[in-house]
Chain A
Amino acid sequence: MSDEINAGPSSLSAPPLADSGDIPDGLASLSGRSLEVQLYREMLRIRLVEERIAEVYAEQQMRCPVHLCIGQEAVAVGVCSALTARDYVFGGHRSHGHYLAKGGSLKALIAELYGKAAGCSSGKGGSMHLIDLACGFMGAAPIVGSTIAIATGAALAAAMRREDRVTVPFFGEGATEEGAFYESVNFAALKRLPIVFLCENNLYSVYSPLSVRQSAERNLLQLVKAMGVVSAGGDGNDVMAVREFTREAVHRARQGDGPTLLEFSTYRWREHCGPNYDNDLGYRTEEEFLAWKDLCPIARMERRLLRDGALSEQEIQAFRNEFLAEADAAIRFGRESPYPDQSVLMQDIYDEPSLTAEAACGN
């Protein structure tokens, strides 16, 4: 029969990541002072990059929404420091920090914000659709809660394919109000999937405080525990604590002991969307903001490292100069890169089929 194709056991779908055994595990095996300095550097880098984004945003050349994570860096850095490049991370609308902490290319991020062809999504995604498969940053999408389910599917794939990968979806506490969250947690518990549900509780869903969204009696950790998922939580502005909680959860996932939910409390300093502060709107108080600002994850770590003599003021200044130079180089790259050609508009709506009509044609 002419339409037969040479069928044999095949692996038509290659995993997106190379599966070689020598992928470096980043910060996962670091410890002691060098680890603390490295985590501090990672947080500082994200902070300075986002502050530079906020500064240049006024030029109106980054023509897409930006949701800055300034104030929340410790969660991104602490979690990703407990992962390897093979582990999967999924993000949401506020994911610059997750992307950078997982090892995503800074130049490609900035070019993406400028809508340029060199962007991590070729200019088609913008700030809310970041991806860097080489480091396991699998994608971010801003429909709240949706990537929780997608990440659960990535964990299912890892389990079905017997791959040593842990999947971490980052989401805010608002996402835990979505049905997709409960459905995903239930399924992950049912199948004991290697996943760590990572909730950053920053108290607000846009301008809506927890008090208008959740009963005061609601306890997320107990909720998911009742569904069969181990849960823990703590100070999301303490990068070492975040890292330790995550390491334990990741270890459990790698051992085949199933999913964990981690909830970390933290606070977004800037407006929900955009480069500015918005406390003048009145949806939160200046006192609350200042109290959280006192808990700045970077300043806390910096004070500790200075006190312990692990770092000097000069070294810190050198780090700042290094990251500002890197950010400026990326911004220059983004600004100067070309827009995608018009021909790209209608490209990549569909991927090529893995069986062509010529290879296997019914009639």
Chain B
Amino acid sequence: MRQLTFAQAIREAIDVAMERDPNVYVMGLGVPDPRGIFGTTLGLHEKYGSSRVMDTPASENAMTGIAIGSALCGMRPIVTHQRVDFALLAVEQVVNQAAKWHYMFGGRASVPLVIRLIVGRGWGQGSQHSQSLQAWFAHVPGLRVVMPANAKDAKGLLIAGIYDNNPVIYLEHRWLHETFGGVPEGIYTTPIGKARIARPGSDLTIVAASYAVLEAVRCAEVLALSGVQAEVVDVRTLRPWDKDTVLESVLRTGRLMVADTGWITGGFGGEVLAVVAELAWGKLKCPPRRFGMADCPMPTSFGLSRFCYARPSHLYTAACEMLEVAVQAEHTALFHEDNLPHDAPDRSFKGPF
């Protein structure tokens, strides 16, 4: 299959949706700018013009309300924020308005709206450029929350979101934008609410979302050298999340780990652990584990931020404990990520973001 980057896949999703439906439009600070939101909107302005690829005032709150109002009246807006953190200025509109209009008017109004939120990481992103607040949004009935982990789903979930008649929070991890994957041409959707088995296995279930899926797969690959097979469930949607697929996997493996990109306290991992504990307690062979960001605001310092993220080697060590296999030094040495600066996605990266 044709290979595209995650960013190119997002761009293509927007392009095919805009081509198909004149009511689809993009708004956000900088969407037509020369960098095109990390490449995800490049060329769209030239193709569709400034009314459908609309730069905006720095007014996140009202612009979100404006997107909602236009959605109520027949448009399908895609609102883009270059960081999750910036969208906090618009949380009132998202939570009180977008999430509620369909329900509180007895189904008479609909808000077909996509809000793209980019999760920052690395290169000193600090407290206000690095938050991964999917748990907040997943808490709210009326919102759908998706977090693709590969290029194919980046396109499929975005198209599904655009043609969904509900507000969809679409979280994309900055470290995924340059990753490659096979992407079908044309219009297709990745179903919202359906998880994907990213790697099959029988001994341990690792539930992950977004960039953490890549880290979980790395962990599973190294674990396999010890003869144990971890199954990685890419949950893809956090609301409504696919309990059936997760439970089915845990019932087979008897072991559960969750790798999330957000904080642990009150986070998505706790939700998964709770549901599994409620429904499959007796099938668990060992206590479940969860990983996420350190429970502190993100410091900027290179010297401190290295302690803030769970990395594949951390997952590996915990998995070995759960599986009662020895941690092998020659295996842990395979986590080349540990030899890279922790604040960059790969060797080719040059700051700033």
Q: Judge whether B67 is part of the interface by a CB distance below 8 angstroms.
A: yes
Chain B residues close to A by CB (< 8 Å):
16, 20-23, 25, 51, 56-57, 59, 61-76, 92-93, 96-97, 101-110, 112, 141-142, 144, 152-153, 156, 159-160, 163-166, 184-192, 194, 196
Interface SS of A by simple majority:
loop
Also in contact, A160 and B70, with CB within 8 A (given A150-B65, A354-B164): yes
Contact B108 A186 (CB under 8 A): no
Q: Judge whether A95 is part of the interface by a CB distance below 8 angstroms.
A: no
Stretch from A9-17, A45-53, A271-279 at the B interface:
A9-17
Per-residue contact bits, chain A 339-363, to B (CB 8 Å; 1 contact, 0 not): 0000000011111111101001111
Contact A362 B74 (CB under 8 A): no
The contact sample of 30 A-B pairs, CB cut-off 8 A, is A1-B184, A1-B186, A4-B186, A12-B21, A12-B76, A13-B21, A13-B23, A13-B74, A121-B104, A125-B106, A129-B104, A143-B96, A146-B96, A148-B65, A149-B61, A149-B93, A150-B69, A161-B23, A183-B57, A184-B62, A187-B59, A349-B102, A350-B144, A353-B163, A353-B164, A354-B163, A360-B159, A360-B160, A362-B153, A363-B156
Contact B59 A186 (CB under 8 A): yes
Task: Kindly provide the distance from the CB of A139 to the nearest chain B CB, expressed in whole angstroms.
Answer: 6
Contact A153 B106 (CB under 8 A): no
A120 to B74, CA, bound (A): 21
Also in contact, A352 and B165, with CB within 8 A (given A3-B184, A357-B189): yes
Per-residue contact bits, chain A 140-166, to B (CB 8 Å; 1 contact, 0 not): 010100111111111111101100000
A residues 101-151 near B (Cβ < 8 Å) are 119-125, 129, 131, 133, 138-139, 141, 143, 146-151
Q: Judge whether A24 is part of the interface by a CB distance below 8 angstroms.
A: no
Whose C-beta in chain B lies nearest to the C-beta of A190?
B57
Task: Kindly provide the distance from the CB of A45 to the nearest chain B CB, expressed in whole angstroms.
Answer: 24
A125 to B104, CA, bound (A): 5
| Contacting residues, chain A, for B76 (C-beta < 8 A) | 12-13
A286 to B163, CA, bound (A): 56
Whose C-beta in chain A lies nearest to the C-beta of B20?
A7
Partner among B23, B71, B103, B189 whose Cβ is within 8 Å of the Cβ of A11 = B23
Partner among A15, A187, A348 whose Cβ is within 8 Å of the Cβ of B107 = A348
Contact A156 B74 (CB under 8 A): no
| Contacting residues, chain B, for A187 (C-beta < 8 A) | 56-57, 59, 62-63, 66
Contact A138 B103 (CB under 8 A): no
Contact A119 B106 (CB under 8 A): yes
Chain A residues close to B by CB (< 8 Å):
1, 3-5, 7-16, 88, 90, 119-125, 129, 131, 133, 138-139, 141, 143, 146-158, 160-161, 179-180, 183-184, 186-187, 190, 347-355, 357, 360-363
Contact B110 A351 (CB under 8 A): yes
Can you list the 10 inter-chain pairs with the closest CB atoms, starting with the nearest?
A153-B69, A149-B65, A122-B106, A183-B62, A183-B59, A157-B73, A153-B66, A348-B107, A351-B165, A362-B156
A187 to B54, CA, bound (A): 12
A361 to B153, CA, bound (A): 11
Contact A139 B20 (CB under 8 A): no
Also in contact, A13 and B75, with CB within 8 A (given A146-B93, A160-B70, A183-B63): yes
| Contacting residues, chain A, for B189 (C-beta < 8 A) | 3, 355, 357, 360-362
Contact A139 B73 (CB under 8 A): no
| Contacting residues, chain B, for A158 (C-beta < 8 A) | 73
Other contacts beyond A146-B65, A351-B102, A362-B189: 9, CB < 8 A: A7-B20, A9-B21, A15-B74, A150-B68, A153-B69, A157-B70, A157-B72, A161-B73, A180-B62
Whose C-beta in chain A lies nearest to the C-beta of B71?
A153
Contact B72 A154 (CB under 8 A): yes
A348 to B141, CA, bound (A): 11
Partner among B16, B25, B62, B196 whose Cβ is within 8 Å of the Cβ of A363 = B196
Contact B69 A157 (CB under 8 A): yes
| Contacting residues, chain B, for A350 (C-beta < 8 A) | 102, 142, 144, 165-166
